[in-house]
């Protein structure tokens, strides 16, 4: 599998895309939009999708009319582009199909409504219009079904006529939804609109089941009917949004997953994603890269390692990825049973001291920083453990680069041995332990062999 895409070529492509959206070429595609009842938003950012989301242009919004215009080069790559008018609100955007055939796209959206109720109205562009009308109708049908679901789940007597009548209407509404969907997919001549319909399809669980079981079944059936081996859909928000939605199941606080359950769930989800995206080399490669990016940004080294070793290495992606090579080297160097990399500290008396100079049989290494919110959530737990286990050494190595912040923070953790060279990620110790996220924990035995490496304090 070959995934060569140099940083230089990415930069050139990005600059070209950014400038191209401002061109006024005669043979361009023109997008005219209007934010009705706008009093907040001053610009629209155009986003392109791939392994991540990329802002490729920004255009101003007219303060008086709420209108804006974008000239797109006629040979732009076809796909679905996101026009985001807020940089903070998750739902404040309009997805626009650019199919390369339609030269004029016009729409308006009333932003005085709640984000989930903002249905763009397209007055030009047959494909966008077809999708928007269908999607609005489907949302209306789904909302009606959800209201019936809520009523049925709360109704105390399942034998009463009122319950049975609503249940009958509920089943009828679900059949109507499926019929609407199938009719659109079968009859629409529009490729991108059909793809959007597939990825917006709703699976309805059995309302007689426990809510947790319903959520589980929704998760299990998530990928049904979705075209996950179509390389052209990489240039849309469909794949990225779907993968995030699928993984969010294990982030749902209502599910009350423990850390080990989350870890096992993420691995299972990664396996499923790689399965459904794995029949096409390009979509498989996309899934690997996107999952790596996502778990790296989450700071979840356990799952990142799982992806790297099980999928990235075996797929033999030959991208000039120094980070991947470094991570793979780190996994090999720091696996349980290996000797821990040497650490030399400067003691208060000016004398050097190494890991082997300490007498404790157990050493816990903590890589943390005062600017890391998750670290500051875990450090009180580490402090409590250190106080209860004076026979062990807890060596806390800070990635702070601000001496005052470091000194202020360690006052609350007096039962650890603290060290900070103010070099942050460039610290020799941090680099030798291949630390890519904070907090990171290592347990060492009396011979200073690695017993375990963890992303949270579970000793």
Q: Which residues of 98-119 are buried (b: 16+ CB within 10 A; e: fewer)?
A: bbeeeeebbbbbbbeeeeeebb
pLDDT in the model for residue 75? 86
Given a cut of 80, is residue 265 above it in pLDDT?
A: yes
256-260, 377-381, 439-443: which range is least confident on average? 256-260
pLDDT of 350 reads 67
CATH of the domain spanning 344-454, picked from 3.60.40.10, 3.40.50.300, 1.10.3720.10, 3.40.30.10: 3.40.30.10
pLDDT of residue 11: 36
Asked whether 164 and 172 are in contact (CB, 8 A), the reply is no
Distance CA 133, CA 318 (A): 44
How much is the pLDDT for 96?
97
Mean pLDDT value of segment 135-154: 92
State both tokens at 296.
């790296």
**Which H/E stretch holds residue 275?**
helix 259-276
How far is residue 303's CA from residue 294's CA, in Å, rounded to a whole number?
A: 10
Partners of 33 in beta bridges: 68, 107
pLDDT confidence of residue 348: 59
What's the confidence (pLDDT) of residue 107?
97
Worst-scoring range by mean pLDDT, 44-48, 259-263, 327-331, 447-451? 327-331
The rounded distance, in Å, linking the Cα atoms of 184 and 126 is 14
pLDDT in tens, 408-435: 999 999 999 999 999 999 999 999 999 9
Segments making up each domain of the chain, as ranges: 7-123, 128-333, 344-454
Q: Which helix (H) or strand (E) holds 192?
A: helix 191-200
Residue 136 pLDDT exceeds 80: yes
Asked if pLDDT for residue 344 goes beyond 50, the answer is yes
Instruction: Give 26's pLDDT tier (boundaries 50, 70, 90).
Output: low
Query: Predicted confidence band at 368 (pLDDT cuts at 50, 70, 90)?
Result: very high
Cβ contacts of 184 within 8 Å, gap of 6 or more: 134, 194, 197
Beta bridge partners of 344: 354
pLDDT average, residue stretch 384-390: 95
SS3 percent helix, strand, coil of the chain, rounded to 5, is 45, 20, 35
pLDDT recorded at residue 88: 80
For 63-119, how does the pLDDT look when each residue is reduced to its tens digit (9 = 90+)? 999 999 999 888 889 999 999 998 787 779 999 999 999 999 999 999 999 888 899
CATH code of domain 7-123: 2.60.40.10
- The CA distance from 453 to 331, in Å, is 10
Q: What is the mean pLDDT of residues 299-319?
A: 78
């Amino acid at each position: 599998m070959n995934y060569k895409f140099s940083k230089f070529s990415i930069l050139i492509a990005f600059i070209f895309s950014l400038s191209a959206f401002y061109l006024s070429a005669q043979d361009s595609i023109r997008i005219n939009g209007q934010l009705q009842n706008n009093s907040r938003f001053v610009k629209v950012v155009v986003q392109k999708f791939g392994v991540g989301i990329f802002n490729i242009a920004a255009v101003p919004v007219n303060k008086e009319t709420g209108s804006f215009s974008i000239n797109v080069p006629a040979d732009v790559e076809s796909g679905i582009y996101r026009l985001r008018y807020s940089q903070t609100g998750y739902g404040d955007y309009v997805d626009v199909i650019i199919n390369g055939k339609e030269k004029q796209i016009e729409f308006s959206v009333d932003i005085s409504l709640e984000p989930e109720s903002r249905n763009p109205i397209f007055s030009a562009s047959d494909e966008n219009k077809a999708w928007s009308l269908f999607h609005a109708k489907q949302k209306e049908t789904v909302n009606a079904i959800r209201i019936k679901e809520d009523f049925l789940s709360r109704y105390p007597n399942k034998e009463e006529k009122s319950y049975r009548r609503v249940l009958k209407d509920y089943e009828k509404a679900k059949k109507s939804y499926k019929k609407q969907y199938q009719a659109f997919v079968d009859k629409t001549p529009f490729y991108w609109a059909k793809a959007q319909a597939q990825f917006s399809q709703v699976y309805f669980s059995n309302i007689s089941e426990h809510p947790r079981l319903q959520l589980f079944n929704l998760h299990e059936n998530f990928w049904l009917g979705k075209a996950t081996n179509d390389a052209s859909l990489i240039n849309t928000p469909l794949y990225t949004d779907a993968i995030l939605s699928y993984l969010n199941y294990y982030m749902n606080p209502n599910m009350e997953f423990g850390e080990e359950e989350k870890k096992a769930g993420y691995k299972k989800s990664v396996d499923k994603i790689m399965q459904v995206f794995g029949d096409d080399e390009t979509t498989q490669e996309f899934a690997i890269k996107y999952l790596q990016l996502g778990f790296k940004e989450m700071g979840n080294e356990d799952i990142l390692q799982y992806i790297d070793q099980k999928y990235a290495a075996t797929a033999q992606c030959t991208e000039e990825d120094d980070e991947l090579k470094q991570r793979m080297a780190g996994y090999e160097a720091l696996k349980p049973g290996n000797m821990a990399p040497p650490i030399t500290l400067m003691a208060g008396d000016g004398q050097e001291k190494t890991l082997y100079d300490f007498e404790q049989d157990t050493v816990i290494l903590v890589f943390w920083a005062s600017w890391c919110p998750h670290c500051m959530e875990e450090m009180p737990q580490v402090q409590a453990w250190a106080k209860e286990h004076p026979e062990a050494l807890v060596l806390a190595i800070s990635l702070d680069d601000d001496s005052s912040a470091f000194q202020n923070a360690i006052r609350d953790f007096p039962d650890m041995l603290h060290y900070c060279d103010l070099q942050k990620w460039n610290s020799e110790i941090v680099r030798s332990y291949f630390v890519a996220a904070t907090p990171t924990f290592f347990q060492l035995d009396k011979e200073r062999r690695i017993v375990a490496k963890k992303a949270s304090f579970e000793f």
